[in-house]
Structure 1
């Protein structure tokens, strides 16, 4: 399912008052921007909120803010570096050993920069897609056990400009090449198309379970990464979605 949040001159506010006491939530990149605001709202609703972040100092500063503003002390930090598949696996292992349930996984973290990861993947591809893909699949059984539960992937309308070049992915472990501003924007757009295709394929595979999944366009939001929108046709391509899933499984070491 594709959702969108729109920024308007008169900003509408969510009027839903649902409480989340007894629920556990993971927010990746929850120490700043959209992730921090999301974590704060969930904490205000009574959820146990886990900020899955790379920078411990910044995460702990955010936790202090969220605890103070929400009055909820069940806001904790767990280390997660999405640029490292080893870190993703370590996070999942620690979480599964220490947390009995998972009701909501919000894959929010994202970057807009070129470079390579320690696993030799393109930074944007690994952080924005592959790391979240692996994280979701490693936690999927816990989500099913805790259902009804959901997965939310923060995508972008930038997916309209994206394509999936499997030949480039095979050759360079990246969705494209280049380091100019325009080329990095293309890489970002490709990764956001991955987010939507991943959600599309995941939703099909979860039919008949008690886990639902969504991707969303957050609108024009002023964050450090510098109205409802319909997905473009290429974001609903069954063959490409299935192939991206299979390639992602192989690259992340799941098969």
Structure 2
């Protein structure tokens, strides 16, 4: 048993017939999560933007586990159109979704906007998963008991929510800090769960978040700060492996112990109390409402998720 990981999921429960979506399931924590759940008999959907990597991961998991119910579906969280197309495909072709794992994320040090006018780091880490979750809520409710899991990070504690600068539109080239975008998005992951769990009360759908630990994955490829790179290289040998980093996600996906637990934050397969800010119901509610506007959620629901509809928000005019 690896010594670096205090938290290991010892639950041996199988999930035969259950349908699981793992975003970013082609590598790192997501891949190890998808593989473990495939071993348990789940019907796995690996959702990622790179078709070549997604298919390769699918084939490798099938070969290792013998479970042929592993599939790849293209999903680019940096494109709200792609999120809508993915959700529409799921709703048309799947009768149930039992577990949604919002695992994919990036560490983007650059001030880059997507085709939707949103900051890339915020969209991939928060707005994209937020829209995906909202669009899949009907099928998750029909599949209850079901589970939603957000992979966050302990750095959420350094995150700040400024509704007048949520998309960092007020930052100049010199004042923009890529790491702050990552911190903010990880705080959004937990605040999303705070409000989502409230909205899901009585539905049989649970929603929880987690910190996987500091894990040696390719997320650090997005770091271009020289000092940060040096620190990472110095301490990389102490990071968790992707297998270790996946344990808490797996625990939240399969353990009977958390079957009725919702709105909580977990570290090393144990529940911990997250910060007061991340549990602030008013802040969580407001973030939810602002996020709905930024991804044009109400318009999408009225249009019945028509993937051809265009949604681009002028975030500079979004003052709360």
TM-score by length of 2: 0.73
What secondary structure, in the 3-state scheme, does the structure 1 residue paired with 2:76 have? coil
1:177 aligns with 2:171: yes
In structure 2, the residue matched to 1:199 is 193
State the distance in 2 between where 1:21 and 1:210 align.
19
Identify which of 113, 117, 132 aligns with 2:114.
117
1:55 aligns with 2:50: yes
State the distance in 1 between where 2:181 and 2:98 align.
31
In structure 1, the residue matched to 2:132 is 135
Identify which of 276, 291, 296 aligns with 1:248.
291
State the distance in 2 between where 1:131 and 1:39 align.
20
Give the C-alpha shift of residue 180 in structure 1. Answer: 7.7
In structure 1, the residue matched to 2:147 is 150
TM-score by length of 1: 0.92
Q: Point out where structure 1 has 5 or more consecutive residues left out of the alignment.
A: 1-6
Give the C-alpha shift of residue 11 in structure 1. Answer: 5.5
Identify which of 40, 47, 71 aligns with 1:76.
71
Write out per-residue CA displacement over residues 106-128 of structure 1, whole angstroms, 9 at most, x where no aligned residue: 00000011311111100011110
What secondary structure, in the 3-state scheme, does the structure 2 residue paired with 1:203 have? helix
**Runs of 4+ in structure 1 over 4 Å off:** 178-182
State the distance in 2 between where 1:175 and 1:193 align.
18
State the distance in 2 between where 1:111 and 1:178 align.
21
- What is the RMSD of the two structures over their aligned residues, measured on CA atoms? 1.8
What secondary structure, in the 3-state scheme, does the structure 1 residue paired with 2:100 have? strand
Paired residue total = 246
What secondary structure, in the 3-state scheme, does the structure 2 residue paired with 1:225 have? helix
Identify which of 90, 93, 117 aligns with 2:88.
93
Q: Point out where structure 2 has 5 or more consecutive residues left out of the alignment.
A: 221-267, 299-320
Give the C-alpha shift of residue 17 in structure 1. Answer: 1.0
Give the C-alpha shift of residue 238 in structure 1. Answer: 1.3
| Greater gyration radius | 2
Give the C-alpha shift of residue 230 in structure 1. Answer: 2.7
What secondary structure, in the 3-state scheme, does the structure 1 residue paired with 2:291 have? helix
Residue pair 1:165, 1:176 contacting (<8 A) in 2 also:
no
State the distance in 2 between where 1:45 and 1:85 align.
32
Write out per-residue CA displacement over residues 194-243 of structure 1, whole angstroms, 9 at most, x where no aligned residue: 00000010001111111001100001111111245431111011111111
Task: Say if 1:10 and 1:53 are closer, same or farther in 2 by CA, change over 3 A.
Answer: closer
Give the C-alpha shift of residue 95 in structure 1. Answer: 0.8
